[in-house]
């Protein structure tokens, strides 16, 4: 027994300190998934791996974290194995250049990477979805956490009829299976295990086809049919643009997008199957202030940068996030124009400058860098590199880089060497300044931005010291961004004429005036008619707070407005209705119960956060509210659970 424990310990240490990819290459995975008790979050399955041995070794392993039961058969027979709670270790004298089949059967009640939504709520939006990046697919599927081993995954899933099951690749067939249904998904190319995706829920879908013939499958909740168009607006246009701009065909059989409740991030670029937060499911009014376009473009760009070619380690994370940010910005430029492109780069530069001032700047090649560095500095590097080597060399190098490294893992040198070879330029100094140095070269970035007349105009506008020009600025043809800058500088010197502007400028006025002067009351009231939920929310509170004698009028006007998916306007309306002295006292109980109901788990966490905040504000977070807040501290979304814990500290 002691000898077995010593061997076990030595194997664990060996595995923890070695790169398994030197010894074994997993080729394919045939995965069959079913579910046990959904309330207990039980996942049951089998997976058949085919792999090749590259070097002689006495063991291989599969990552499998916290499984209740796991067994295997190697090449048709049981071989001695060890399971340490994190890995299934298969002991066998494997010989180089040999091929094998490994069949694993398991059962687990996973607490990470696969999420069971609303199965304990009768009225909830019942879903199951996965998130492998940063959480590891090995929490629910025996797989390989190392992103350097790419595997062709084919998933077969059994689930209840009446639901849709979405996974990577092409759905080749469905069939009845006992009293349930079985979905068969096929992948033709390998991918890293963290990109395996599964989404189950009540969905409808619409399909468009790209210029190159790729099916674009866009899923939505049946009740959200009127939100489909604004949610997925510009999808096909951006897809076609990116294929042409990148110069490499989209590498997968189709492209699917699926909104889910209480997602951990804005979106995730699973291979051929982006899962995104249903907070981005919006109507045409919401599109003005909060749309899916950037997330849509970013996750789509990842299908090349991250999925087709994948970083070897966190040191090269910018090859995924910086590239996806840059190409998303190019796609948005195609949709919204040059000014939008330069404005977003300007915003990125300001954020990077502020990070530098806070002494938080890091190298782009530091694996511990912030998202601001990986995403926004990474995008800036590509913008500056393109200016340095020229469009033709940049696009040719990018195309070569992708084609040479497709379905492989890459480091920064793989990209830089390709650019050097195509352009004929030595990029050592560029790499030292933009990739290795901690500092963001703001001055160089600003000089690049000044090539835009739009940015020149913005930088020129200055109304800190009020002059007659400032009045002219607001009435004539400078950009909305420049006018918003003027609004922030004028503050309490705003005039009636300033309201004769676009939605965005009027929104800035609404936010700037914390207390509405009587002289601007009528003009400010018109903000309640703007097609912007942020403007309406801001103006409603501003008017309610500034003119107590007319609170009822403002509440009556905005009674039926819900706002974004987080019910930003409705939650505020209910709060103000309760806080008003004489607004429909006979309905106060109903108003309170509705607001309190929004704190329950049947709603998305964004709605719940708004409700909790407002109940705290009016000092009405009683026993049921506190109970729901306590429950929220255990929510799978860490931002929401942290919010709930902080709220509980408030007396």
User: Residues 262-316: pLDDT tens digits?
Assistant: 999 999 999 999 999 999 999 999 999 999 999 999 999 999 999 999 999 999 9
Closest-CA residue to 372 (of 397, 401, 351): 351
Q: How confident is the model at residue 454 (pLDDT cuts 50, 70, 90)?
A: very high
Pairwise CA distance, residues 114 & 272, whole Å: 18
**Residues 231-260: what's their mean pLDDT?**
98
Question: Other CB atoms closer than 10 Å to residue 177's CB: what's the count?
Answer: 14
Q: Looking at the chain, which residues constitute the CATH 1.10.390.10 domain(s)?
A: 309-455
Tell the burial category of 322 from Cβ atoms under 10 Å away from its Cβ (0-12, 13-18, 19+).
buried
Retrieve residue 176's tokens: 């009845």
Q: Taking 70 as the threshold, does the pLDDT of residue 8 lie above it? A: no
Average pLDDT value over all residues in the chain? 94
Give the Cα separation of 15 and 59 in Å (integer).
9
Could you give the CA distance from residue 227 to residue 238 in angstroms, rounded to a whole number? 19
| pLDDT level of residue 11 (50, 70, 90 thresholds) | very low
What single-letter DSSP state applies at residue 46?
E
> Is-contact 364 322, C-beta < 8 A?
yes
Strands (E), 248-347: 255-260, 267-268, 273-277, 309-311
Q: Count of alpha carbons within 13 Å of 508, Cβ hemisphere only?
A: 21
User: What is the predicted pLDDT for the residue at 466?
Assistant: 63
- The Cα–Cα gap between 645 and 242 comes to 42
> Residue 280's closest CA among 504, 531, 564, 532?
564
* Residue matched to tokens 């879903």: 127
Question: How confident is the model at residue 651, as a pLDDT?
Answer: 61
Instruction: Taking residues 129-136, report their average pLDDT.
Output: 93
Residue ranges matching CATH 1.25.40 in the chain: 506-649
β-pair partners for 260: 277
Confidence of residue 473 (pLDDT cuts 50, 70, 90): confident
Q: What's the CA gap between 476 and 574, in Å, rounded? A: 39
Q: For residues 236 and 216, is the Cβ–Cβ distance under 8 A?
A: yes
Better-predicted residue by pLDDT, 81 or 241: 241
Q: Which residue, chain included where needed, has tokens 């103006």?
A: 539
Helix, strand or coil for residue 467? coil
pLDDT tens-digit map of 365-398:
999 999 999 999 999 999 999 999 999 999 999 9
Closest C-alpha to 454, from 304, 314, 344, 590: 344
For residue 352, what pLDDT is reported? 98
Alpha-carbon span 272 to 191, nearest angstrom: 10
Q: Which class in CATH covers the domain with range 506-649? A: mainly alpha
Q: How confident is the model at residue 364 (pLDDT cuts 50, 70, 90)?
A: very high
Which of 597, 596, 607, 615 is closest to 565 using CA atoms? 607
pLDDT single digits (tens) 149-160:
999 999 999 999
Q: Pick the residue with more confidence: 10 or 631?
A: 631
CA–CA distance, 272 with 325 (Å, rounded to integer): 18
Q: How far is the C-alpha of 241 from the C-alpha of 121, rounded, in Å? A: 42
Q: Do the Cβ atoms of 412 and 436 come closer than 8 Å?
A: no
DSSP 305: B
Max Cα distance, the chain (Å) = 90
Q: In the structure encoding, which two tokens stand for residue 554, read together?
A: 């403002």
Closest-CA residue to 529 (of 552, 510, 511):
510
Q: Distance between CA 267 and CA 277 in Å, rounded?
A: 6
Cα gap 115→197, rounded to integer Å: 12
Least Cα distance to 260 among 300, 220, 294, 297 occurs for 220
Measure Cα distances from 545 to 179, 528, 580 in Å: 58, 14, 10
Cα distances (Å, whole numbers) of residue 104 to 15, 60, 135, 145: 19, 14, 21, 16
- Mean pLDDT for 175-201 is 97
Please give the model's pTM, rounded to 2 decimal places: 0.95
Question: Computed from CA positions of residues 592, 594, 595, 597, in that sequence, does the dihedral angle turn out positive or negative?
Answer: positive
Here the tokens at position 598 are 């929004």
**Rounded to an integer, what distance in angstroms lies between the CA atom of residue 333 and that of residue 328?**
9
- Tell me the torsion sign for CA atoms 89, 93, 98, 101: negative
pLDDT at 493 over 50: yes
pLDDT tens, position by position, 73-88? 999 997 777 999 999 9
Q: How far apart are CA 260 and CA 125, in angstroms?
A: 9
Alpha-carbon distance of 500 to 519, in angstroms, equals 15
Cα–Cα nearest to 481, from 448, 444, 507: 507
Q: Please give the pLDDT value at position 467.
A: 66
Measured in degrees and rounded to the nearest 5, phi and psi for residue 414 equal -60, -35
**For 309-455, CATH number?**
1.10.390.10
Q: For residue 18, what pLDDT is reported?
A: 54
531-573 pLDDT, tens digit per residue, is 999 999 999 999 999 999 999 999 999 999 999 999 999 999 9
CA distance 206 to 403: 31
- Other Cβ atoms closer than 10 A to 149: 20
Tokens representing 644 are 């709930």
Q: Are 278 and 604 in contact (CB under 8 A)?
A: yes
The alpha-carbon radius of gyration of the chain (Å, integer) is 28
| Token pair 């207990």 in the structure block, residue | 40
**Separation CA 362–CA 339 (nearest Å):** 29
Is residue 3's pLDDT more than 70? no
pLDDT at 566: 96
CB 190 within 8 A of CB 308: no
Average pLDDT over residues 110-115: 93
Q: What is the mean pLDDT of residues 400-427?
A: 98
Q: Name the more confident of 24 and 469.
A: 24
- Predicted local distance difference test score (pLDDT) of residue 110: 84
């Amino acid at each position: 027994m002691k000898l077995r424990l010593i061997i076990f310990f030595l194997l664990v240490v060996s595995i923890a300190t070695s790169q398994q990819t030197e010894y074994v290459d997993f080729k394919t995975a045939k995965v069959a998934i079913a579910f046990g008790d959904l309330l207990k979050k039980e996942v049951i399955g089998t997976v058949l791996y085919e792999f090749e041995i590259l070097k002689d070794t006495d063991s291989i392993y599969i990552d499998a974290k916290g499984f209740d039961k796991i067994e295997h058969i190697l090449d048709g027979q049981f071989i001695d194995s060890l399971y340490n709670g994190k890995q299934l270790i298969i002991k066998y004298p494997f010989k180089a250049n040999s091929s094998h089949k490994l069949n694993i059967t398991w059962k687990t009640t996973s607490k990470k990477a696969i999420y069971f939504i609303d199965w304990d709520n009768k009225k909830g939006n019942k879903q199951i979805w996965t998130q492998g990046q940063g959480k590891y697919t090995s929490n629910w599927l025996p797989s390989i956490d190392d992103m350097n081993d790419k595997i062709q995954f084919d998933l077969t899933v059994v689930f209840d009829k009446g639901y849709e099951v979405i996974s990577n690749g092409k759905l080749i067939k469905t069939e009845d299976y006992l009293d349930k249904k079985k979905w068969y998904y096929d992948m033709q190319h390998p991918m890293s295990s963290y990109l395996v995706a599964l989404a189950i829920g009540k969905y409808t879908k619409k399909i468009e086809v790209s210029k190159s013939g790729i099916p674009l499958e866009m899923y939505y909740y049946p009740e959200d049919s009127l939100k489909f168009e604004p949610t997925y607006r510009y999808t096909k246009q951006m897809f076609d643009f990116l294929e042409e701009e990148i110069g490499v065909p989209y590498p997968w059989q189709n492209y699917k997008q699926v909104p889910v409740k209480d997602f951990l991030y804005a979106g995730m670029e699973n291979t051929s199957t982006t899962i995104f937060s249903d907070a981005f499911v919006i109507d045409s009014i919401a599109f003005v202030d909060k749309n899916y376009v950037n997330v849509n473009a970013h996750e789509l760009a990842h299908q090349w940068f991250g999925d087709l070619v994948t970083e070897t380690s966190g040191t090269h994370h910018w090859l995924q996030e910086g590239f996806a940010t840059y190409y998303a910005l190019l796609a948005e430029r195609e949709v919204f124009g040059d000014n939008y492109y330069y404005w977003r780069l300007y915003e990125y530069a300001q954020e990077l400058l502020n990070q530098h001032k806070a002494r938080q700047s890091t190298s782009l090649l530091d694996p511990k860098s912030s998202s601001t560095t990986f995403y926004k500095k990474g995008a800036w590097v590509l913008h500056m590199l393109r200016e340095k080597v020229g469009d033709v060399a940049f696009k040719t190098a990018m195309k070569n880089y992708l084609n040479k490294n497709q379905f492989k893992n890459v480091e920064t040198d793989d990209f830089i060497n390709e650019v050097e070879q195509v352009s004929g330029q030595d990029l050592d100094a560029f790499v030292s300044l933009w990739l290795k140095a901690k500092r963001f070269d703001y001055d160089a970035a600003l000089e690049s931005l000044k090539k835009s007349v739009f940015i020149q105009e913005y930088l020129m506008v200055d109304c800190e010291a009020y002059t007659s020009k400032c009045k002219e600025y607001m009435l004539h043809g400078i950009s909305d961004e420049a006018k918003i800058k003027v609004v922030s500088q004028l503050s309490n010197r705003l005039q009636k004429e300033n309201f004769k502007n676009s939605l965005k400028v009027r929104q800035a006025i609404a936010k700037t005036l914390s207390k509405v002067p009587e002289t601007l009351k009528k003009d400010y009231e018109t903000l309640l008619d703007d097609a912007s939920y942020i403007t309406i929310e801001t103006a409603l509170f501003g008017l309610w707070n500034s003119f107590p004698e007319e609170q009822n009028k403002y509440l009556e006007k905005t009674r039926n407005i819900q706002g974004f998916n987080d019910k930003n306007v409705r939650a505020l309306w209910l709060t103000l209705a309760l806080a008003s002295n004489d607004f429909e006292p006979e309905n106060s109980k109903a108003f309170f119960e509705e607001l309190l109901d929004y704190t329950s788990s049947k709603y998305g966490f964004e709605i719940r956060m708004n409700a909790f905040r407002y109940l705290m504000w009016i000092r009405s977070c009683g026993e049921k509210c506190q109970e729901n807040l306590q429950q929220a501290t255990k929510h799978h979304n860490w931002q929401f659970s942290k919010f709930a814990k902080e709220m509980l500290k408030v007396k």
